[in-house]
Amino acid sequence: MTFPESGEVRTLISREQIAARVTELGQRISEEYAGRSLVLVSILKGSFVFVADLARAIDLPVRVEFLGVRSYGANTKSSGVVEITQDLTRPIEGDDVLVVEDIVDTGLTLTYIQGLLSGRKAASVKVCALLHKPSRSRVPVTIDYLGFTVEDVFIVGYGLDYAERYRNLPMLAELATGD
């Protein structure tokens, strides 16, 4: 699949592989949170597709909240500065919270989010990430539920973007950006 205006994409993880892994994650989360309600905090914009599929794979009462953050802008590398672009609509004090992230690379954004949510007195804060790029880690982070570990390439699709494009691809793909 080629997008002439922005480069070429190459499939890394198929739609079917994603669906199977999301089902596995949902089953594990359902077992570990059995008898409890759970707040899924989707980190916008990249995790919106993942959280929709994950929420349907979890067999528990869940509430979904959205937290908008930005650290990339229109670039392919994180700026290291986290900006809140949209806050939660309801308090999470006393709730079990599962942060749903599209990709963890440097760990800086996730560390910031975990501190923010813990400071709001959540009963627990755990992390579910679709992707992890360990080669780019700058701070140690714990990912409690992980979809896939990937190499240090720029990934788009399944909610992940490059300059707000490619989110609608049904698979995860490497984007040749020329960077």
Q: Which two tokens stand for residue 176?
A: 């040749």
3-state secondary structure of 72: coil
Q: Which residues are catalytic?
A: 105
> Rounded distance, CA 117 to CA 33, Å?
19
Token reading at 175: 């984007």
User: CA 105, CA 101: separation in Å to the nearest integer?
Assistant: 11
Token duo for residue 28: 């594990």
